[in-house]
Amino acid sequence: MGLDGVELVIAFEEQFGVSMSDAEAEKLETPRMVCDFIYSKIVTTDEKICQTQRAFYLIRRAISNTFRHNRKSITPDAPINQLFSNPPDKEKWLSLKKAVQARTWPELSRPIWLKVLIVIIPASVFFTLWLRNPINPIAGFFAIPIIGFFSAVITIYIGTSLTRPMKTTIPANIKQVKDLIPFAITSDEMKWTKEQISEHVKRIVIEIVGISESEYFEDAHFIKDFGID
């Protein structure tokens, strides 16, 4: 199988999240046969395994295109922090979501020191009001603690609102590339119709083989009509 043929197989596998052996690839002589093969794989493969594998391929492609990383270095167990600058660029984090086309995506969080600070300051306000003000019988036994409590709540709310732009840390539960798989599974690309498969196969073939759209047709022979060796 020539270079173009290998690139096509890799592109098909990564686009649709399926595995294609050399023996299987050699039997696929036309784009229509490729479409039928991919459709049968997606339909008949165990759903859980298929979805996980396809989601990883989708993430790997998105990371590779967005951050220009070598695809071989992007494995399910690869530490996610190594793929991003520190702190990660918010725009790139969101562009990765866009590339994956995920409907849900983990938000960046505040640094630990900032989270601690947001808690310590309101707690200090609460205890300061409580300890420095003697209990006033007229105001009632619980007046000062209640005032301190609500002051602390308001301080936390203000601190949380003001520090929202400072969310620059990848969530603690996202440690490896595979931790993004549950979010990638929500991608619109995870569900394929025959028409969608045909359209994506067409795009891949035109891009890799270097032919015009007018030269493409599904029953064309990869070797005889497209010159792929």
Shared domain for 12 and 66, answered yes or no, is yes
Shared domain for 190 and 141, answered yes or no, is no
Shared domain for 186 and 83, answered yes or no, is yes
Cα-based angle 134, 140, 142 (whole degrees, multiple of 5):
80
Shared domain for 124 and 183, answered yes or no, is no
Structure tokens at 116: 């601690």
Q: Which residues have C-beta within 8 Å of that of residue 2, sequence separation ≥ 6? A: 228, 229
Structure tokens at 190: 């995870």
Shared domain for 120 and 99, answered yes or no, is no
pLDDT tens per residue across span 1-35: 566 788 899 888 877 878 888 899 999 999 999 99
* 22 inside domain: yes
CA distance to 66, 92, 115, 116, 127, per residue, from 86 (Å): 16, 12, 18, 20, 36
* 89 inside domain: yes
Domain count, the chain: 2
* 64 inside domain: yes
Shared domain for 162 and 179, answered yes or no, is no
Q: How far apart are CA 206 and CA 216, in angstroms?
A: 7
Shared domain for 35 and 145, answered yes or no, is no
Shared domain for 118 and 99, answered yes or no, is no
Shared domain for 69 and 158, answered yes or no, is no
* 229 inside domain: no
Shared domain for 116 and 86, answered yes or no, is no
* 79 inside domain: yes
* 224 inside domain: no
Shared domain for 125 and 26, answered yes or no, is no
* 121 inside domain: yes
Q: Digits of tens for pLDDT over the chain (229 positions)? A: 566 788 899 888 877 878 888 899 999 999 999 999 998 887 655 555 567 888 898 899 888 888 888 888 889 999 888 777 666 678 888 888 999 988 888 888 888 887 788 778 777 766 766 666 555 544 544 555 666 677 777 777 777 777 777 777 888 889 999 999 988 987 877 777 888 889 989 999 999 999 999 999 999 999 999 988 7
Q: 138: domain range?
A: 112-166
* 221 inside domain: no
Shared domain for 40 and 132, answered yes or no, is no
